[in-house]
Amino acid sequence: METKSQRVERLKREKNPWLHLDEIRAFARQGHSSIPPEWLGTYFRPWGVYTQGDGQGVTGGKGGEGLSVPFFMVRIRIPNGLLTSQQVRTIADLSAHHGNGVADITVRQNIQLHWVRIESLPELFDQLQAAGLSTTGACGDVARNITGCPLAGIDAREIADVSPIVLALDRELAGNPDFYNLPRKFKITVSACPDWCSYPEINDIALTATRRPLRSAGFEPAQLPVALPVAQAFRPEAFPDHSAPSLNDCHSDRSDPAFSSAPLFGAPGRGAEERFSIARLSCDESLFSRRQGTASAVPQTPAPNGASAPEESLFNPTDASTPDLSGRRSPVAGHPSSLATSHSPLATSSTGFSLRVAGGLSTEPHLSVRLNAFIHPHQVIPVVRAITELFRESAVLRQSRERARLKYLFLEHGWTAASFLSAIEQRLGYKLDPAEPEDFPPHIHRDHLGVQAQKQPGLYSIGATVIRGRITPHQLRVAADLADRFADGHLRTTPMQNLLLVNVPERHVPAVVAELTSAGLPVESSSFLRGTVACTGSEFCKLALTETKSFARWLTEELKDRFPNFREDIKLHITGCPNSCGQHWIADIGIEGKKIKQDGKFVDAYYFCVGGAVGQFASIARPVGYRCRADEVPDAIARLLRTYYAERSPQQTLQHFLSTQSSDSLRHILAGGPAPYAQRDLATSPVPHSLEDR
């Protein structure tokens, strides 16, 4: 008798669904009843498509999974959250025409549509492709959307603009048949944000930019027996494009010209040069022009591992062979490349990355492990490929769907930071340089909301709150129109489910703020509103126990009314089941959806986990043993905040106060008096993975 894991693994071995778009087109012609179970449960997912729940969550189903309806959720992959105004309008139109006017921004900077019929999928794919967008790899056992800082290239505090590296990685992994069959989902983030807004603590691979002194005492680059020069290493033949077959073709061979021309797979557009331009990707033409099959001839001296090659050219190209970009405006950043600074022989440091692996939440949270490695920019793709291959080839992770994430190598199979690094280096064939000291950000809001001055004089970013991550077609169109009227037509989604407009001239800031606010996208919002994250919940997810989106709106309004002067940072995360799609394990106050019986009927309830944090004092929230009905949650949080105000010491933050309280004390405060310890009531059998977590 085949287990669930064995069945899924067999199905994945038998078919790469990316090569069978013709079957989806056939289903669209023949109707929902023609779709076989293996497509509904497995093959749709790498296309970014999931079945949709009936609105009752897990209730009414069997085997820990609720009933589905003949509609789909479709997730749009948006690397680094980078969007143009026209792409935003396309998403608005698709939401209005095919998605019942519903769109959600996710914690991985994607946008999800709901209520999509099978008959609509081909047209939806076609329109996304025409706009330079894709759903490929947004779901399934693949490398998911690669996240980054939404202020990349414009934040004066960043070490460098690393969004081109995000796009290159996305291009390398998304749609690549080498990686369509991983043991489970695989999450990657690359960022130079000093706030770590893309949450490296909870990703499978996290690269955070850092600097190392050049030729500092005792530092010598690691040695590599044979290596390619930087420019050669990123030529097209070294890392081929993994484009999709044209949406008009199916069962395409890898030699089919469609693979090099269609923009369905990978980074937005798969012809990112047309949309992002060489000006935007000028940090290394050879790295980001593989579609054209060209590479700039950057003069350099080969080094064993490239460490002593002029790696600054990866961030700051000024070589004579690089086009003169002065004054050119990039379609993405809307300004000359922020990386194009002089390569000075007096430079005292080089830019690279710290490397973390195996972070993840779900039912068994695990913060990522920092490895003793400094990753040079030209090493990023080889290192990420090596880790992805290690994950792909870990047979032990294919035995159970519930224990298949990379973190379980550390949690259950004895791997350590040292052994993992050794495995990477064996696969690479050379040693990586040792890590540099790194500053950890404080535990603060990582949302980039409000009006912030950019590094480009006279320009500002404007971050608007998208309440509970849900945005309407009208709001999307308003944001797109504002970006065109008052800026350069570019927007960005954030890991906190919000939306940014960038490159807004100072004189236009008041008008943009006023119109966003009028559209229900407030730029100034309460601490509760800006700090709240909510998963999809039972409205669309077949595994959720509770409704979360409307509840999140009501809860934040209640707390704002009760504490109108509350201005502190607070992270309030809501998840509808134990899978933690709402990331409750890293929140100050995380609440996990439950059901309790009242008057003979089951009603929504929440279990409290308190004291989670990221950054300097990263920790997993503590289950404190308190559970209450959903309508009692505001009272419980109010009691906690009032106690904090009454008992805190001068200058003590909420986070520090929570860390000083025992679980018993927190339960007593939340309950308003003595209360027995409530179990989380986890299922005795494995917990299925929710819509967002699968």
Secondary structure of 81-142 in the HEC alphabet? HEEEHHHHHHHHHHHHHHCCCCEEECCCCCEEEEEECHHHHHHHHHHHHHCCCECCCCCCCC
Report the C-alpha gap between 633 and 645 in whole angstroms. Answer: 19
**What pLDDT score was predicted for residue 297?**
28
Q: What angle is formed at CA 597 by the lines to CA 595 and CA 598, rounded to 5 degrees?
A: 125
**What pLDDT score was predicted for residue 580?**
81
Q: pLDDT tens-digit profile of 523-566?
A: 998 899 888 888 888 888 877 889 888 999 999 999 999 999 99
User: The pTM is what?
Assistant: 0.81
pLDDT band at 679 (very low <50, low <70, confident <90, very high): confident
Q: pLDDT tens-digit profile of 11-27?
A: 999 999 999 999 999 99
Q: What angle is formed at CA 325 by the lines to CA 319 and CA 326, rounded to 5 degrees?
A: 110
SS3 assignment, position 184: coil
**What pLDDT score was predicted for residue 362?**
84
DSSP 223: P
User: Please, which residues bridge with residue 416 across strands?
Assistant: none
Is the separation of the CB atoms in 537 and 50 below 8 Å? no
Report the C-alpha gap between 331 and 522 in whole angstroms. Answer: 26
Which stretches of 479-571 are assigned E, i.e. beta strand?
Answer: 490-493, 499-505, 532-534
Is the separation of the CB atoms in 25 and 420 below 8 Å? no
Residue 340 has pLDDT above 80, yes or no: no
Q: pLDDT tens-digit profile of 309-336?
A: 333 333 332 333 322 322 223 333 333 3
Q: pLDDT tens-digit profile of 433-465?
A: 999 999 888 866 788 999 999 999 999 999 999
Report the C-alpha gap between 618 and 369 in whole angstroms. Answer: 12
Report the C-alpha gap between 564 and 580 in whole angstroms. Answer: 29
Is the separation of the CB atoms in 485 and 85 below 8 Å? no
**Exposed / middle / buried, residue 348 (Cβ in 10 Å: 0-12, 13-18, 19+):** exposed
**What pLDDT score was predicted for residue 212?**
92
Residues 6+ apart with CB under 8 A from 504: 459, 460, 461, 462, 486, 487, 512
The helix or strand, by DSSP H or E, that contains position 166, with its residue range, turns out to be: helix 163-173
Q: What is the mean pLDDT of residues 405-412?
A: 96
Report the C-alpha gap between 464 and 451 in whole angstroms. Answer: 9
- Residues above pLDDT 90, as percent of the chain: 63
450 vs 80, 143, 162, 442, 480, CA distance in Å? Answer: 19, 32, 23, 19, 18
One-character DSSP codes across 378-444: GGHHHHHHHHHHHHHT-GGGGS-GGG-STHHHHHTS---HHHHHHHHHHHHTSPPBPPPP-PPPPS-
Q: What angle is formed at CA 641 by the lines to CA 636 and CA 646, rounded to 5 degrees?
A: 125
Which listed CATH number (3.30.413.10, 3.80.10.10, 2.40.110.10, 3.40.50.20) goes with 530-671? 3.30.413.10
Q: pLDDT tens-digit profile of 31-66?
A: 999 999 999 999 999 999 999 887 776 666 666 677
pLDDT band at 358 (very low <50, low <70, confident <90, very high): very high
Closest residue by Cα to residue 575 from 610, 611, 545, 539: 545
462 vs 199, 431, 467, 483, 512, CA distance in Å? Answer: 21, 43, 16, 10, 8
**What pLDDT score was predicted for residue 61?**
64
* Residue the block writes with tokens 């790899």: 137
* Residue the block writes with tokens 């770590």: 196
448 φψ region: left (φ > 0), alpha (ψ -120 to 50), beta (else): left
**What pLDDT score was predicted for residue 329?**
30
pLDDT band at 225 (very low <50, low <70, confident <90, very high): very low
- Highest mean pLDDT: which of 54-58, 217-221, 380-384? 380-384
DSSP 596: E
For the chain, the domains span 530-671
Sign of CA dihedral 415, 420, 422, 427: positive
Q: What is the mean pLDDT of residues 194-221?
A: 83
Report the C-alpha gap between 22 and 77 in whole angstroms. Answer: 21
Report the C-alpha gap between 521 and 528 in whole angstroms. Answer: 15
**What pLDDT score was predicted for residue 613?**
87
Is the separation of the CB atoms in 356 and 203 below 8 Å? yes
Instruction: Write down the number of H helices and E strands in the chain.
Output: 20, 19
Q: Which has the minimum average pLDDT: 63-72, 250-259, 426-435?
A: 250-259
DSSP 53: E
Q: pLDDT tens-digit profile of 468-502?
A: 899 999 999 999 999 999 999 999 999 989 999 99
Q: What is the mean pLDDT of residues 260-266?
A: 27
Q: What angle is formed at CA 599 by the lines to CA 594 and CA 600, rounded to 5 degrees?
A: 75
Residues 6+ apart with CB under 8 A from 84: 132, 275, 331, 489, 490, 491
Residue 253 has pLDDT above 60, yes or no: no
Q: What is the mean pLDDT of residues 168-190?
A: 96
**Average per-residue pLDDT for the chain:** 81
